[in-house]
């Protein structure tokens, strides 16, 4: 049993903690939090041990009747830390993990040099035995999964416009409420980030924020080595793990309908781990392929965090790990 | 086993179907739908039988590989129909149910005279043996649950401003995107609707739509017979079923946080059946009580639909039925 | 000619500067800004002199080719400063204004003790010769204007639910995007703030933020001394300055339609200085009056800032000043 | 004096009517409307004659005290009708205009075969003496203006992702409130529509709706014949009429800031007739040019409607007409 602690219990951290506790080969030692809020109380109800990452806040937990330990003490006892703290804190925490010689997994908000950039189905082997792994961001993971599936056709050039959700559903502070906000830095950072995972030399990404909380949408233009037909592409996506084809003709007309379908499927928290490609949008013109995909930013990197543990401890092959993770999360 | 068919598989219908299938004393014979969309496909995956309520559409289902029966044939075999069809269609369907002598439950979009207006904890006994029951709308149910809890204190006068979500999460057609839309009809229809359930003679409701999809929020002003203290009110709400106290100090600062907590609790579809009152907002000034509550319009009437079956068939007492329903849905 | 400088050139400041420059008895000496952004460039195009309130930023303006002076030097030469700086900065600036013995007007984001709380049509005389005046916030101004109009009927008790726009149109940082956010502090600060202007002893206000940028909407419940009829109330509002009656039957169904009408009227920046009451919503039940009003937060305090100058210098009577200000802004 | 009637007084119609009345060589005979709403009342206040396009509705106007004529009678007396009626109604009206031999201008919601597709700076000469002209849609006009400016460089291939505002500010019925809605028809209709104006053989457009009301944003990828440098492109755009360069470094970070700047400039209704390109986003990589532009859908085709009149009556050259129109609208 791999003993795991999840440091940070926000949007990603709490999902990863739940996913860890579903693995037969993992044991969730506990989670680290800084505040005794409703998420802490619900974690206790689930039976998770909480460790406080800020010593002076332990009293705040006590006042709320929550019994918590100290993070440092808990760390002695774990094999791997999964660090879901806010952007940039992971880098600070890495120093601590290095000192106590613990392997650690970081999220996509950290700089690329913190560890091996990782998307399970794209470069699992590169992460085998790595001390530090960085699960790349939701957008980069989404681009890598579907571009990775197309690599067999020879990718000449990629151009992607990313329409980003501006805030997560539980973030009430961040706007805009009614505006489109372009990132005028072209290319956006995503292009380079994809290249930390996939060997695509010619990639351009442009990002624009929209006032929605549900999902990102990517408009993709991919020049292939030679002309393919649409059915071949559809089959390829169908046969690639963690990609799901959705259809307007089935009533999946928007990001809202994808989220609705995830809720209807009974997915925990209504999560959609798979990158959803609108099958109706797949279009070939000359050598160029066009398609539209949606990314559930709250959950799509959750499977990567699990596979990263198995890779860094060399427990399973890529396919074995993905199979186990998928099964535990209900990904078919 | 009570044999139940759910006619209409939209926001309410699909939730009620799932709730029916969780009851030990009920059997879900099937659901009726008009289109072979993603919701139909997921229903089939769950093992639900589908009956098509529009004969000429049966071929559309066949084309999608879905085997469906005819609604009329299915009805012969059921004890109770729960009608979750769009507003006004229920009234048309009632004629059919009457002809074949089937008991039926309708939703709050139907006119009040379609059956006994019903909120389980408020007037269960009135619905015993009734042939037709109408589970009142989400807003009315929310008002009745919390005002019902206060009736013991003597209610002199109620004034409520309802800030309504303008569309459900999966409704992408309805706006507004960026405006507040008052209902200038004062009182709004909710005041009269509450009075179909509770004997409150002096009630005023004012409704305004806001560009959000998650929950309604009610601002309530209740004049009581005599001054109470806030702790008494808090205790009363705490001890009333299907009411949940939430706190800003726990991080529940908005309707988004309530929804987040429901997802974290592992509720199916992230539903919140309970009316959520912000405990921090409960305020007494003179004889007047003020409080703020939030209503999850997609799910809060689901338990009522289940209890209504038991009431109309006189299967259980109010408390027994509520206990069974609550347990099945994870309401504590 | 009253020599005026407007310190702060945000949402309120830039509107007040324009209004100042429209007055025949005022001269706009200039405006103070901290950054050479597009608003600075457009101010220069209009012929406004800019003074930089942060010395070290003067170079930033120079780099953009904008010639600006120092704020301190400009102040010597003015009769009145109108301070439209962000909340709390006004209080810091007051120390400077006191030192150089300049009269100053502040906005509603400052604490009440900074000067005489002011709504022109409610308490002009109280501000005559005052050294410091505080134009109360948009919401408080809106409440005071319409409640002030009702004072002749005897106000026993006021209860108001304020549905607040969460951000101004040009604020892209502030959310929420999709949630309702109650202020659980009951009463909200507005109740007490109204009392700094009007002698209403029994007033309750409850505030909830909604994801819109256009206007606030207030749902008002006013208990009067004795029963009035609706036409009397309508006439009273009609005959009160800076109140505008709007009608759903004319197509003014929402805050968006009010804004549209202001644009259609040719108002500068599409501003609506008047408090808009939906005439269709005015309802009497017993002694109680109900109505719904909308507040254009960007502009409704602009006329107050102008009248405040005339009051503090004792230049005109209330009615004379309001008449001049209204005429200059196109308020009928 | 060209005698003009504007049929339809919605978002486009009312702006065109105002623009007509600003031209020294045009006379606005009146406008045609179907309902006596606030827009009708404000039109009367401006001195516009109203003609009712639905005979039986004339009484509705009378009831509101508005004196209106019949559309048919007014038409006798005009030289040109500008038809701003809802999509598809223009085609029905064309039959009437043909019968009475009146020249007419239609909007982009009509099919392309209704008349000469027109963007003044791109193909003015093609419309000289044409009986019917169609001012193409806001998105198509936006694409044509900036792609037209680039034609001198030789355009090999265009790929554009259009992030569309979902509803106009005064449209409170249309959603979505919180979702991204792709148009899975690839290419979207815009590609073909651009080709009715510009001879660009290889163009792909992909459209996605976002929950905002202010402006559309286009992400453009343009392969040129040969590598250009960014300054050349910037100069070209700078020297092209009805294109405006905006900068994030000036604080124009979003569509909200563009709208704010138009209000600050004193533009009527806060309109932005020009296509706004973010100068900071202009990027060359190899032969490919990338840039981001924003389109004010309410107003950008207004100048086209004016120029179309001069073209169809062969009154002025392209440059003369554009100069007159620009001057009247404050476009520099």
Tell me the pLDDT of chain B averaged across its residues: 97
pLDDT of residue A47: 96
Please give the CATH topology (third level) of the domain spanning D138-295. Dihydrodipicolinate Reductase; domain 2 (3.30.360)
Q: Sort out which chain D residues have CB atoms less than 8 A from B177's CB and list them.
A: 166-167, 174-177, 211-213
Say whether the ipTM exceeds 0.90.
Answer: yes
Name residues 269-288 of chain B within 8 A of C (Cβ). Answer: 278, 280-281, 283, 285, 288
Q: For chain C, say whether A183 makes contact (Cβ under 8 Å).
A: no
The verdict on a CB contact (< 8 Å) between A176 and D254 is yes
CA C49 to chain centre: 24
Q: Is B46 helix (H, G, I), strand (E, B) or coil?
A: helix
As annotated, the residues of chain C forming the CATH 3.30.360.10 domain(s) are 138-295
In whole angstroms, what is the distance from residue A17 CA to residue A51 CA?
13
In whole angstroms, what is the distance from residue B60 CA to residue B49 CA?
16
pLDDT of residue C331: 97
The residue length of chain D stands at 332
Selecting among B135, B138, B144, B276, the annotated active-site residue is B138
Residue linked to tokens 């809720």: A263
In whole angstroms, what is the distance from residue D39 CA to residue A282 CA?
44
Cis peptide before A187 (omega within 30 of 0): yes
pLDDT tens-place string over residues A17-33: 999 999 999 999 999 99
In whole angstroms, what is the distance from residue C322 CA to residue C306 CA?
9
Return all residues near A65 (Cβ < 8 A) that are at least 6 apart: none
CATH of domain A2-136+301-329: 3.40.50.720
Q: For chain B, say whether A175 makes contact (Cβ under 8 Å).
A: no
User: DSSP letter string over A268-314?
Assistant: GGG---SEEEEGGG-EEETTEEEEEEEE-TTTTTHHHHHHHHHHHTT
B213 vs D166, D171, D177: nearest CB: D177
The residue length of chain B stands at 332
On whether the CB atoms of residues B144 and B136 are closer than 8 A, the answer is yes
In whole angstroms, what is the distance from residue C132 CA to residue C114 CA?
7
The verdict on a CB contact (< 8 Å) between B174 and D169 is no
Partners for C (CB, 8 Å, 3+ pairs)? A, B, D
The verdict on a CB contact (< 8 Å) between D180 and A278 is no
Pairing of strands B275-278, B288-295: antiparallel
pLDDT of residue C204: 98
Averaged pLDDT, A233-240? 98
Burial status of residue A164 (CB atoms within 10 A of its CB: 0-12, 13-18, 19 or more):
buried
The shares of helix, strand and coil residues in chain A, as percent rounded to the nearest 5, are: 40, 25, 35
pLDDT of residue C192: 98
pLDDT of residue A177: 98
The verdict on a CB contact (< 8 Å) between C251 and D41 is no
In angstroms, what separates the C-alpha of D249 from chain B's closest C-alpha?
27
Termini Cα distance of chain D: 25
Q: Is B276 annotated in the active site? A: no
From start to end of C166-315, where are the E strands?
181-182, 203-210, 216-224, 243-246, 275-278, 283-285, 288-295
Averaged pLDDT, B22-41? 97
Return all residues near C150 (Cβ < 8 A) that are at least 6 apart: C222, C224, C233, C236, C289
Q: Residue A200: how many CB atoms within 10 A of its CB?
A: 20
Residue of D168, D322, D153 whose CA lies nearest to D222: D153
Selecting among C122, C135, C138, C144, the annotated active-site residue is C138
Partners for A (CB, 8 Å, 3+ pairs)? B, C, D
Tokens of D92: 């029905």
Averaged pLDDT, A280-296? 97
User: DSSP letter string over C39-84?
Assistant: HHHHHHHHT--EEESSGGGHHHHHHTT---EEHHHHHTT-SEEEE-
Q: Is the pTM of this model over 0.90?
A: yes
Tokens of B254: 């908005």
Q: Print pLDDT tens along chain C (332 aa).
A: 999 999 999 999 999 999 999 999 999 999 999 999 999 999 999 999 999 989 999 999 999 999 999 999 999 999 999 999 999 999 999 999 999 999 999 999 999 999 999 999 999 999 999 999 999 999 999 999 999 999 999 999 999 999 999 999 999 999 999 999 999 999 999 999 999 999 999 999 999 999 999 999 999 999 999 999 999 999 999 999 999 999 999 999 999 999 999 999 999 999 999 999 999 999 999 999 999 999 999 999 999 999 999 999 999 999 999 999 999 999 98
pLDDT of residue C48: 98
Residue of C nearest to A210 (CA): C177
pLDDT of residue B283: 98
Residue linked to tokens 């501003």: C271
In whole angstroms, what is the distance from residue C287 CA to residue C329 CA?
36
- How does C111-125 read in b/e, with b if 16+ C-beta sit within 10 Å? ebebbbbbbbbbbbe
pLDDT of residue D71: 94
On whether the CB atoms of residues C208 and B215 are closer than 8 A, the answer is no
In angstroms, what separates the C-alpha of A21 from chain B's closest C-alpha?
14
The verdict on a CB contact (< 8 Å) between D167 and B181 is no
Burial status of residue A308 (CB atoms within 10 A of its CB: 0-12, 13-18, 19 or more):
buried
- How does C140-161 read in b/e, with b if 16+ C-beta sit within 10 Å? bbbbbbbbbbbeebebebbbbb
Ranges of chain D whose pLDDT falls below 50: none
pLDDT of residue B281: 98
As annotated, the residues of chain B forming the CATH 3.40.50.720 domain(s) are 2-136+301-329
Radius of gyration of chain D (CA): 20
Averaged pLDDT, B80-88? 96
């Amino acid at each position: 049993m791999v003993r795991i602690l999840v440091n940070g219990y926000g949007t990603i951290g709490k999902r990863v903690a739940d996913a860890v506790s579903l693995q037969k080969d993992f044991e969730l030692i506990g989670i680290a939090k800084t505040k005794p809020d409703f998420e802490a109380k619900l974690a206790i109800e689930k039976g998770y041990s909480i460790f406080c990452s800020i010593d002076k806040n332990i009293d705040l937990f006590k006042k709320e009747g929550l019994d918590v330990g100290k993070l440092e003490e808990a760390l002695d006892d774990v094999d791997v830390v999964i660090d879901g703290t806010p952007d940039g804190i992971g880098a600070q925490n890495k120093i601590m993990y290095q000192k106590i010689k613990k392997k650690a997994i970081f999220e996509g908000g950290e700089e690329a040099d913190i560890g091996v950039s990782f998307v399970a189905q794209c470069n699992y082997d590169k992460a085998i035995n790595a001390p530090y792994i960085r699960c790349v961001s939701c957008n980069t993971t989404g681009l890598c999964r579907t571009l990775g599936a197309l690599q067999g056709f020879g990718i000449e050039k990629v151009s992607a416009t990313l329409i980003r959700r501006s805030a997560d559903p539980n973030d009430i502070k961040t706007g805009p409420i009614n505006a489109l906000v372009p990132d005028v830095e072209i290319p956006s950072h995503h292009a380079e980030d994809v290249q930390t995972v996939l060997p695509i030399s010619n990639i351009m990404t442009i990002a624009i924020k929209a006032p929605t909380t549900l999902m990102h949408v990517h408009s993709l233009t991919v020049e292939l080595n030679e002309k393919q037909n649409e059915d071949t592409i559809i089959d390829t996506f169908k046969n690639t793990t963690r990609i799901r084809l959705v259809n307007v003709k089935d009533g999946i007309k928007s990001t809202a309908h994808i989220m609705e379908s995830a809720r209807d499927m009974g997915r925990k928290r209504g999560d959609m781990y798979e990158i959803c490609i609108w099958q109706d949008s797949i279009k070939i013109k000359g050598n160029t392929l066009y398609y539209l995909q949606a990314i559930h930013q709250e959950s799509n990197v959750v499977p990567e965090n699990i596979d990263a543990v198995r890779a860094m401890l060399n427990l399973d092959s890529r396919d074995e790990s993905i199979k186990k993770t998928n099964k535990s999360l209900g990904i078919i």
